[in-house]
A and B are shown apart, each in its own frame.
Chain A
């Protein structure tokens, strides 16, 4: 199964959830928004969201400056 994280391709050998992927990739999830195929996924749904072939994941770091 092939997915994309922030425009980088990644091959997944086994079925995984969004939460498992973020953890396997050692992504610090404090102050980030995570989107799946253009839609932001709330934290409470990361565990139950299963990834599919061709999924695009986008990580957006919070910025607060102005």
Chain B
């Protein structure tokens, strides 16, 4: 890959990234050349997009058809009272660009669908699922597996947060394997409540996974190659006990999305 040299302003703006040997100038150049698709600009999408924008991910595409409401402001930290009634994707893009005009941010105010996801996912290096409903989660999972694009899927409710990094090139399971029932809609934030810092922690973890993937997704201490992402491990956070639990998700060979031709 050919990298453009960072200019003086970029060297200063991203100096805290560059100072770390795990990112450095080469990692920063990779971030600037990356395109991340963020679907859902609510409680997860706000912190996730904020950290990716400030870290210098060169292209962000933000998808949300919803508008800002007063009850969102408890946890959706990119918005202010003057944004109420306006599209989240557009307001989030404006807010991120005010903080970092060095990157490109595209706002998509259509609802994510099977059709538009094909095009949106195809253009991205990585997808963050920050949506608030399971129907869209299944569609995103399907598109990512079809196009072999890695997906960082997260969700939160009450004091519980969940996160899983999925790589279609690896042999772990997918979102469909994790929760095969597609019928019932479990409680979401608007009908069950959500602790703002919990969704913040999970959204920030999505951003960390993204940065780890986009810089160099392995480290090699003592000549061992270690993944910087816990691919295929469901990480569940309980905000009341502050305990993280990690469970491995194997591939279900009968899964309609990742089974079949990928089955081992």
Contacts and interface: CB of A to CB of B under 8 A. Distances in A.
Interface of A: 30-31, 33, 35, 38-40, 42-44, 58, 60-66
Given A63-B156, A65-B132, A44 B254 contact: yes
Interface in B174-188: 177-181, 183-188
Interface of B: 40, 42-45, 129-134, 137, 154-158, 160-162, 173, 177-181, 183-190, 192, 194, 199, 234, 236, 245-250, 252, 254
21 contacts: A30-B184, A31-B184, A33-B179, A35-B248, A40-B177, A42-B180, A42-B254, A44-B252, A44-B254, A60-B162, A60-B247, A61-B160, A62-B179, A63-B156, A63-B162, A64-B185, A65-B132, A65-B188, A65-B192, A66-B130, A66-B155
Contacts of B45: 66
Contacts of B161: 63
A35 B247 contact: yes
Nearest to B189: A65
Provide the main secondary structure of the chain B interface. Answer: mixed
Given A38-B248, A40-B234, A60-B247, A66 B178 contact: no
Nearest to A34: B247
Contacts of B183: 30
Which of B44, B132, B133, B245 has most A Cβ within 10 Å? B245
Nearest to B199: A66
Contacts of A63: 155-158, 160-162, 186-187
Given A30-B184, A33-B179, A66 B247 contact: no
A62 B107 CA distance: 29
Nearest to A29: B181
Contacts of A58: 245, 247
Contacts of B154: 66
Contacts of A40: 173, 177-178, 234, 247-250
B248 A66 contact: no
A32 to B, nearest CB: 8
A31 B181 contact: yes
Contacts of B189: 65-66
Contacts of B252: 42, 44
Contacts of A64: 131-134, 137, 155, 157, 185-186, 188
